């Protein structure tokens, strides 16, 4: 019997599983985090805008949320529902960035960076994988506060905890804290202020249009380096 006819049943079984179509299915990014990633106050939408038209991007980051309150409010359930549904995507990457609202002095949101915060981040990684997604941990975007000539890194303990969780779980990591701190330090306080929101909304944490574009581009470049499978999803975008 010719080889083609002997191999035909295997070929038909392969196609029936849908595996043959998998490479043509689109990718998806799901953004999970706080206001520095959220629409209007963060870089998330600018990052999504750099993706090719056939790459889906859901910016589910919300202002004021910590690694604990995002879950407590049921927002993480929405992420898990998207992952479990699949919706025809070849793979879904989940970017997870918390820290700002985990800091002390925020009732109902603050977490202990030694125990509670890393446990929360570890659980996000584990549940993303269990639901079929690929977790990408992101250290928190720096605040643009200067003490004299130097950026003050008040998010260092939370950034360190994220790095440790990434090492322990072997999850992909974008060290946005280090990247953004170096960027702000090089700019200096006056130029760094141009990244903020204008008028009464000005502060040294959130970003306006210029900051969103700058850090959306920074994240796109970092993701290309860290996750080669995402490179094509950004096309020729900067």
Flag the least confident range among 59-68, 92-101, 139-148, 226-235. Answer: 226-235
Q: Mean of the per-residue pLDDT values for the chain?
A: 91
Question: In the predicted model, what is the mean pLDDT of residues 30-58?
Answer: 97
The whole-number pLDDT of residue 109 equals 95
Percent pLDDT > 70 in the chain is 89
The whole-number pLDDT of residue 19 equals 41
Q: Between residues 200 and 25, which one has the greater pLDDT?
A: 200
Q: Is the pLDDT of residue 51 over 60?
A: yes
Q: Could you tell me the domains of the chain? A: 27-233 (3.40.50.1110)
Whether pTM > 0.85 for this model: the answer is: yes
pLDDT tens per residue, range 109-129? 999 999 999 999 999 999 999
Question: In the predicted model, what is the mean pLDDT of residues 134-141?
Answer: 98
Q: Is the pLDDT of residue 140 over 60?
A: yes
pLDDT band with cut points at 50, 70 and 90 for residue 171: very high
The whole-number pLDDT of residue 11 equals 40
> Based on the number of CB atoms within 10 Å of its own CB, is 110 exposed (0-12), middle (13-18) or buried (19 or more)?
middle
pLDDT band with cut points at 50, 70 and 90 for residue 23: low
pLDDT band with cut points at 50, 70 and 90 for residue 229: confident
Alpha-carbon Rg for the chain, nearest whole angstrom, is: 20
In angstroms, the Cα distances linking 141 to 154, 198, 199 are 11, 19, 22
In angstroms, the Cα distances linking 205 to 11, 41, 56, 62, 211 are 55, 9, 27, 14, 10
Question: In the predicted model, what is the mean pLDDT of residues 5-21?
Answer: 39
The whole-number pLDDT of residue 236 equals 67
Sequence-distant (6+) residues with CB within 8 A of 62 are 34, 35, 38, 70, 75
- The two tokens of residue 70 are 């995002």
Question: In the predicted model, what is the mean pLDDT of residues 24-41?
Answer: 96
The whole-number pLDDT of residue 237 equals 57
The whole-number pLDDT of residue 16 equals 33
């Amino acid at each position: 019997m010719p080889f083609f006819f002997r191999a035909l049943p295997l070929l038909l079984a392969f196609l029936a599983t849908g595996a043959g179509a998998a490479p043509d299915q689109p990718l998806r990014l799901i953004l999970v985090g706080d206001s520095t990633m959220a629409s209007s106050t963060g870089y998330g939408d600018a990052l999504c805008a750099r993706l090719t038209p056939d790459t889906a991007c859901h910016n589910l980051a919300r202002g004021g949320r910590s690694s604990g309150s995002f879950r407590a409010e049921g927002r993480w359930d929405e992420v898990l529902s998207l992952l479990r549904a699949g919706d025809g995507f070849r793979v879904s990457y989940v970017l997870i960035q918390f820290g700002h609202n985990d800091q002390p002095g925020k009732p109902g949101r603050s977490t202990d960076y030694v125990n509670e915060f890393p446990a929360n981040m570890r659980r996000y990684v584990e549940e993303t994988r269990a639901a079929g997604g690929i977790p990408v941990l992101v250290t928190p975007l720096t605040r643009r506060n200067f003490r004299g000539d130097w950026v003050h890194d008040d998010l260092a303990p939370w950034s360190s905890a994220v790095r440790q969780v990434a090492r322990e779980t072997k999850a992909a990591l974008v060290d946005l804290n280090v990247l953004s701190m170096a960027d702000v330090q090089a700019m200096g306080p006056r130029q760094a202020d141009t990244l903020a929101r204008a008028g009464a909304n000005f502060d040294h944490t959130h970003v306006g249009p210029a900051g969103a574009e700058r850090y959306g581009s920074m994240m796109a470049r970092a993701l290309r380096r860290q996750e080669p499978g995402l490179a094509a999803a950004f096309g020729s975008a900067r």
